[in-house]
Structure 1
């Protein structure tokens, strides 16, 4: 690539950042005079790239809004970041809506990378190990996702068509506080006008959204991710569990994920309010924490804890048989 051609492409890269740059700024960045910048801009125009000029003392150039740019020029670090981002996004389910687009983008990028860098990236992707399993994401409707994001940004109430887990369909007026991606699914959380409380909804169960009357403010300190995780932790389980843990709130929060249940400080410790499908599993969780605890309910949990204690004593006995 000749040096003038490289500088013409460098000008294009500078304009891709967005906004308008003065001729003087561009000349300084490119290491040329202002007359040469104007000539480079003419070269781009000859390639049908819509470079817009503004005349005057502080005149400059910018690309037309909405123009679909040609392939971007990436540094080695930027190329690695994009490849790893696409790879991780596919594994986590984040790109469930755009699997084909992600694969196509990754293939295009790998085709145009310098040979040495392409080989090193191929080596990385073939040897890297992930500590979390690959997830098949549940894709939401892209229009729904974008409309809720816009509503959240501008604090505008929306109406949603929602299908619950049991097939019931309802319309809800929702103040969108935040969007959360967790474990292969998108969730939206906010104030549900029909219930008069903060609720969490899965985006793949929202058929459509449309604007409603009203604006709102998000409560100070509201944590969308914490709200979603707490909601997941309390949904769809057989048993309600309330246990007082004899530890500090800070230590309980450090050891227990938000999906386990809600933690409330009380006199002498922390109250854990949770849901459980199996009480024997809850007994094992409590024993594994290593703290003293008091079971408030259910009574069946006390039976499971006693049974676990009996099994542990039997296993620790010198006469225990080796299997």
Structure 2
């Protein structure tokens, strides 16, 4: 920290105050690697630049940035810039494409960063191949309208693409937008179907907020609801009865395996579906209680095969030498 210029230290002081409202002068100096007196000088430098740094005197006093202040320049460490680039490339194949909104935004960020910080991030952008385009990236403007409608609790009229050519008009109360497994989903109540629905945001081709408002469910858990939905509708419907209470079973079962129903105080039903019984069989080995597969037979067979393989693997090996 000693080699940093006074300007750099003043900007770092601002970042520390923004991230830690009420930080004391002693702690600020410690984080900057300077005395508390020097820390006060950097605070004075920020005030001279027109930045409203407020201070509260006394034993428990400290510094904070005045309300309404926003710092235009971006300040990232090298690690933060690299982490941002890696996350963007992982989630957005287009982050390396300067003609795409995500790519243009990344470019703007890199241009305002110091060369020492921007250069490694730009190298990753150019040299690391991005994941293949799955065609599931939603339109940013549509996504923004959906998110704002969730916040404002306004019903929306959607143009929702069902196939290559068919588009359906839907009226939906948008409860939440969430990202799961690299895809964006809209959770809400469809007035068109009079039912709860999970819709893919990348299939929304038009959105128009309506004057009608709504109240979302009090006990809404968007992630749990979406994952339970994603566990349904596959080729093989699954039903398993587990000899344990639902609260205990919930600690063993991943949400994407299905939804849990309490049969009684001591038994729980797991309802789900799968395309791959072998994969599902491996996942339910986490159940630490007796369970009974009601269906499908393909899953029961996969569990038997897995059990036989594990039994064979645990059997003692006979010596190949002479008796």
Q: Same fold (TM over 0.5)?
A: yes
Cα displacement string for residues 239-273 of structure 1 (whole angstroms, at most 9, x for unaligned residues): 11110123343443333221111122332232111
Task: Judge which range, 221-230 or 242-251, deviates more.
Answer: 242-251
Residue 53 of structure 1 is matched in structure 2 by: none
Q: Write the distance in 2 (CA, Å) between the matches of 1:118 and 1:273.
A: 49
The correspondence of residues 155-170 of structure 1 with structure 2, limited to 5 A, is 155-164=153-162, 168-170=166-168
The Cα shift of 1:201 comes to 0.7
Cα distance change, pair 182–103 in 1 and its aligned pair in 2 (3 A):
same
What is the DSSP-based 3-state SS (H/G/I as helix, E as strand, rest coil) of the residue aligned with 1:254?
coil
Residue 113 of structure 1 is matched in structure 2 by: 114
Uncovered stretches (5+) of structure 2, i.e. residues with no partner: 1-6, 19-42, 51-67
Residue 197 of structure 1 is matched in structure 2 by: 195
Cα displacement string for residues 210-237 of structure 1 (whole angstroms, at most 9, x for unaligned residues): 13341100110211222222221213x1
Q: Write the distance in 2 (CA, Å) between the matches of 1:314 and 1:302.
A: 18
Give TM-score, length-normalised by structure 2: 0.65
The Cα shift of 1:276 comes to 1.3
The correspondence of residues 300-319 of structure 1 with structure 2, limited to 5 A, is 300-318=298-316
What is the DSSP-based 3-state SS (H/G/I as helix, E as strand, rest coil) of the residue aligned with 1:255?
coil
Residue 281 of structure 1 is matched in structure 2 by: 279
What is the DSSP-based 3-state SS (H/G/I as helix, E as strand, rest coil) of the residue aligned with 2:250?
helix
Residue 25 of structure 2 is matched in structure 1 by: none
Residue 245 of structure 1 is matched in structure 2 by: 242
Q: Write the distance in 2 (CA, Å) between the matches of 1:180 and 1:106.
A: 25
Residue 88 of structure 2 is matched in structure 1 by: 89
Residue 173 of structure 1 is matched in structure 2 by: 171
Uncovered stretches (5+) of structure 1, i.e. residues with no partner: 1-5, 18-26, 38-61, 64-68, 127-132
Q: Does 1:258 align with 2:259?
A: no
Cα contact 2:187–2:197 (8 A) shared by 1: yes
Q: Write the distance in 2 (CA, Å) between the matches of 1:230 and 1:297.
A: 18
Q: Write the distance in 2 (CA, Å) between the matches of 1:241 and 1:300.
A: 10
What is the DSSP-based 3-state SS (H/G/I as helix, E as strand, rest coil) of the residue aligned with 2:285?
helix
Give TM-score, length-normalised by structure 1: 0.65
Cα displacement string for residues 262-312 of structure 1 (whole angstroms, at most 9, x for unaligned residues): 122332232111101133333333335443101222344334433443444
Residue 231 of structure 2 is matched in structure 1 by: 233
Q: Write the distance in 2 (CA, Å) between the matches of 1:313 and 1:266.
A: 32
Q: Write the distance in 2 (CA, Å) between the matches of 1:114 and 1:282.
A: 49
What is the DSSP-based 3-state SS (H/G/I as helix, E as strand, rest coil) of the residue aligned with 1:105?
helix
Cα contact 1:91–1:136 (8 A) shared by 2: no
What is the DSSP-based 3-state SS (H/G/I as helix, E as strand, rest coil) of the residue aligned with 2:269?
strand
Q: Write the distance in 1 (CA, Å) between the matches of 2:76 and 2:235.
A: 52
Q: Write the distance in 2 (CA, Å) between the matches of 1:30 and 1:286.
A: 58
Residue 104 of structure 2 is matched in structure 1 by: 101
The correspondence of residues 41-190 of structure 1 with structure 2, limited to 5 A, is 72-75=72-75, 77=77, 80-93=79-92, 98-109=101-112, 112-113=113-114, 115=116, 136=133, 138-164=136-162, 168-190=166-188
Task: Judge which range, 192-201 or 89-98, deviates more.
Answer: 89-98
The Cα shift of 1:134 comes to 5.4
Cα distance change, pair 273–167 in 1 and its aligned pair in 2 (3 A):
farther
What is the DSSP-based 3-state SS (H/G/I as helix, E as strand, rest coil) of the residue aligned with 2:255?
coil
Cα contact 2:159–2:206 (8 A) shared by 1: yes
Cα contact 1:190–1:199 (8 A) shared by 2: yes
What is the DSSP-based 3-state SS (H/G/I as helix, E as strand, rest coil) of the residue aligned with 1:259?
helix
Cα contact 1:135–1:184 (8 A) shared by 2: no
Q: Write the distance in 2 (CA, Å) between the matches of 1:89 and 1:251.
A: 37
Q: Write the distance in 2 (CA, Å) between the matches of 1:321 and 1:273.
A: 46
